[in-house]
Amino acid sequence: MIALAIIIGVAAGVLSGLFGIGGGILLVPALALVLGLDHVEAEATSLLAIIPVAAVGAWRQKSYGNLDVRSGLTIGAFAAVAAVAGVALVNVLPVELVRYAFAVLMLYVAWRMASSAIKQLRAGADPALPDGQ
């Protein structure tokens, strides 16, 4: 189990640095499917695990001049306060409902990202560049 956790950690670090993803998109499914945690345990564990990943990623991005500190701290402060409500809510909802809602959210995000990339490709823009430049 430790070896699997190490592999998940390495994957989370590489993909977080490469794509800016981690907690919800990668760690929650990996912890649930690979390590067998229930969905709420996977969410809670990913919240803790993503702290060092996000901190190191932000630190490295700052050295490249890609970090908007004010926006990040503002979003982080309000998200931290709102997380209290989210944690309280997830602990009273049925785990199956939370898991299905998470799956629907993941499908919606994937659909929006794919739709945006297809739209940019049709317009002749490079979807990898900001605003299709």
- Angstrom distance (rounded) from CA 30 to CA 8: 7
| Cβ(54)–Cβ(73) below 8 Å | no
pLDDT range class, residue 80, cuts 50, 70, 90: very high
Q: How does pLDDT run across 38-51, given as a tens digit for each residue? A: 999 999 999 999 89
CA-angle at 101, arms to 44 and 120, nearest 5°:
105
In a domain, 132, yes or no: no
Q: How many domains does one find in the chain?
A: 1
In terms of residue numbers, what domain contains 51?
A: 2-126
> Is residue 111 situated within a structural domain?
yes
- Residue 133 located in a structural domain: no
Alpha helices (runs of H) in the chain, residue ranges in sequence order: 2-19, 28-33, 39-63, 69-90, 95-122
pLDDT at 54 over 60: yes
Kindly state whether residue 69 falls inside one of the protein's structural domains. yes
pTM of the predicted protein model:
0.73
Residue 47 counted as domain residue: yes
Residue 87 lies in a domain: yes
18 inside domain: yes
What integer pLDDT is reported at residue 133 of this predicted model? Answer: 54
pLDDT of residue 127: 60
Any domain includes 54: yes
